[in-house]
Amino acid sequence: MKEVLIKAAMAVIALLAAGASAPSRAQQMDGKALFMKNCAACHQASGKGIPGAFPALAGNKFVQGKGADVAAVLLKGRGGMPDFSGSLSDQEIAAILSFVRSNWGNQATPLSEPEVLALRDVLQVDHFSNGQMSNKH
């Protein structure tokens, strides 16, 4: 009986250890897939944009600059860029921007879900709601 309890305890410890080393939800979210769904129509799958219409993200100094500045564009819109604050969660915005900031030759630090949430407060943008009345499509 004692041996069974020890094995059960070891199994629980192993499961807890595996959970602790598992990637967070933000890391699990596929930034590339989200980019393809929400951004690639304008900025292209290559990140090269469409000259004169949609800016290139590949090699873009602004994209590789301050993460808060880049996230603000998604949260508030800019020029012809729509506001995604009601249609993308903080986790999705973080995943997309982390993908964009680390691909096509870009080398910038990723953004986290808490950083995007904090920026919503700074910019006075409503918190994302994935409820029945949200804009989420």
pTM equals: 0.74
pLDDT of residue 6: 52
Architecture of domain 25-123: Orthogonal Bundle (1.10)
List, for residues 19-55, the tens digit of each pLDDT value: 443 444 444 579 999 999 999 999 999 999 999 999 9
Burial class (CB in 10 A: 0-12, 13-18, 19+), 87: middle
List, for residues 90-116, the tens digit of each pLDDT value: 999 999 999 999 999 999 999 999 999
Domain extent listing, the chain: 25-123
